[in-house]
Amino acid sequence: MMTPDIFYVEDDPDFAFFMENAVREVNQDLKLSVVPNGAEAIDKLKKLADDNYTPGLILLDMNLPGLSGLEVLRAIKQTPRLKYIPVLFFTTSDNPKDVKSSLEYGANAYLTKPDGYDKLVNCMKSLHDFWFKHTITSVN
């Protein structure tokens, strides 16, 4: 089973496509796994954890079909093998209530999706540099 470096929950297939390309542009070796909804995300994350595989970073969209990003975050934080994985909201919503709720539920950060592919690549480079070059490697 492949352990993704980044586990991304995104219901917009076009944005997921751009994200896959942006991640590959930032680092060819990063493994990205994309799932389209909250229920599938919880199932796959729990299966990964049961098999002793966990991603290095989880990105969540706030507004997902079925379960919301907050509900997915709650499930992550209630699962012992998942609760310490960094979770970032990566969403179009810039509603202050969403930001506050996500942080109260235990998200590590809240980012509004950039507009335009070049800005997405720059954002992913910043995420990669912070979460993979500095934070995660220094913890392991």
Residue range 66-72: average pLDDT? 95
Helices (H), 1-140: 13-26, 38-50, 69-77, 96-104, 117-127, 137-139
Tell me the one-letter amino acid at 11.
Answer: D
Q: Could you tell me the domains of the chain?
A: 6-139 (3.40.50.2300)
The model's confidence at residue 71, banded by pLDDT at 50, 70 and 90, is very high
- What's the pTM? 0.91
Q: What is the pLDDT of residue 135?
A: 58
Residue 131 and residue 125: Cα distance in Å, rounded? 10
Residue range 43-58: average pLDDT? 94
